[in-house]
Amino acid sequence: MITYVLKTLWRHRTRTLLTVTGAAVAMFVFCFVGSVQEGLRRLTSGADANRSLIVFQENRFCPTTSRLPEDYSRKIKQIPGVRDVMPIQVWTNNCRASLDIVVFNGADPRQIQSTRPLSLIEGSWQQFASQRDAAIIGRNIAQRRGLKTGDQFSIGDISVNVAGVFSSTVPSEENLIYTSLAFLQYTRGLDAAGLVTQHEVLLDEDADPDRVAADIDETLRAGSVATKTRRKGAFQASTLSDLVDLIGFAHWLGYACVGLVLSLVATTTVMSVQDRIKEYAVLQTIGVRPLRAMRLVLAESTLLCLVGGIAGTTLALAALGLGGFAIGAEGATIAFRPSISLAISGTLTSLVVGVVAGFAPAVQAATVPIVNALRQA
């Protein structure tokens, strides 16, 4: 019967091709939307999202407006529950939402190497640590900008020499550029000597993040600049609040794509059954049972949806893997990455939609009145 289903689809190959193409396009968009949502979840609920704190200037959002004394790190280290503190100077080319955001993080090279989950693909840590204007860049940035080790990269008032390209187990890290803290502080035009954008606080295993955050703000309240300390995940979610709302709306776009596939495949299957209503009557006449007729129609709709869905999912995963896409705002970035869960989600959704889309036409084919159908011209 599989041969019969394939011949049926090939008989109307133009209609079949258009249906498969439509399903592929819809599932392509579905997977892209799913990738954005996965990227946001990874950013706000990753391994370090609840075990690290970000100390930022109170009532400030864009990194360029947060200016904290660097020596705050000394006071923060004395608070119980704090394992280490990394002062970070952040510079970004665009505080608004952008698909080509460039974010520099300036910090102590030794702390970067010890605290960040980075692995150099090319270049060396030694060059990065010894050369004042050296930088290591995430592979997504390198891919988008066409950079490699030894190149010089300039944007705005900042010009760096690429000392290495790194990959990371945290996808959002691959959209960052790391330099030494002193380089960003003393770059002409930034006027940040002795100042940093934020302090990243690493906690002991048994520390209560909320208690430590409150203690930090209380300790620094008497300082020259008031602070607001949050868990890293909450801080990034707040920073990307506008994008979070947009991504929440895009969630419905994904559902709309699923509905489109359902409608498209169901319409095609109904047309196919109506065109061959006499054929189904003949099948029942020669002994094909109603349940088998239903399985034939369900196999047809499921095959259409699966082929289109797998094609769209595969194309989406390839585009995500090769494109290095990311969107960011105010120095935080959401990386779009392919994943096994995304592939499974796209395939299972196609399978379920194919079965649901073919159910009503399958019932029609199984219950066709034999005599009336045979009388049709």
Which whole number is the average pLDDT over 120-146? 89
Q: Which residue in the block uniquely carries the two structure tokens 């790391």?
A: 178
pLDDT at 295: 80
Q: Is the pLDDT of residue 205 over 90?
A: no
Instruction: Provide the number of structural domains found in the chain.
Output: 2
pLDDT in tens, 321-332: 887 777 776 667
pLDDT in tens, 95-115: 766 667 788 999 999 999 988
DSSP state of 98: B
pLDDT at 48: 66
Average per-residue pLDDT for the chain: 83
Point out the domain boundary residue: 225, 257, 287: 225
Residues in the chain: 377
**CB contact set of 117 (below 8 Å; sequence gap of 6+):** 168, 169, 170, 173
Which whole number is the average pLDDT over 194-223? 90
Same domain, 130 and 20: no
Answer for the pair 236, 44: CB distance below 8 angstroms, yes or no. Answer: yes
Same domain, 341 and 294: yes
The b-or-e profile of 175-209 (16+ CB within 10 A means b, else e) is bbbbbbbebbbebeebebeebbbbbbbbbeeebeb
Q: How far apart are CA 134 and CA 178, in angstroms?
A: 9
pLDDT in tens, 115-130: 888 899 999 899 899 8
Q: Which residue in the block uniquely carries the two structure tokens 């002193």?
A: 182
Both tokens of 315, joined, read 């194309």
**CB contact set of 252 (below 8 Å; sequence gap of 6+):** none
Q: How far apart are CA 203 and CA 200, in angstroms?
A: 10
Q: What is the share, in percent, of the chain residues with pLDDT greater than 70?
A: 90
Point out the domain boundary residue: 225, 254, 278: 225
Point out the domain boundary residue: 196, 225, 254: 225
Q: Is residue 157 part of a domain?
A: yes
For 72-88, the three-class secondary structure string (H helix, E strand, C coil) is HHHHHHCCCCEEEEEEE
Q: Is the pLDDT of residue 313 over 60?
A: yes
pLDDT in tens, 25-58: 999 989 888 888 887 777 777 666 677 899 998 8
Same domain, 258 and 213: no
Both tokens of 191, joined, read 């006027």
Q: What is the pTM of this model?
A: 0.75
Same domain, 349 and 299: yes
Assign 373 a pLDDT band (cuts: 50, 70, 90): low
pLDDT at 98: 67
Q: Is the pLDDT of residue 375 over 80?
A: no
pLDDT in tens, 239-298: 776 677 777 777 788 888 888 888 888 888 888 777 666 666 666 677 667 777 778 888
Q: How far apart are CA 158 and CA 104, in angstroms?
A: 9
What is the dihedral sign for C-alpha 276, 281, 282, 283? positive
Answer for the pair 306, 349: CB distance below 8 angstroms, yes or no. Answer: no
Q: Is residue 230 part of a domain?
A: no
pLDDT at 377: 45
Same domain, 105 and 201: yes
pLDDT at 46: 65
Q: How far apart are CA 195 and CA 67, in angstroms?
A: 6
Same domain, 66 and 179: yes
Q: How far apart are CA 263 and CA 257, in angstroms?
A: 10
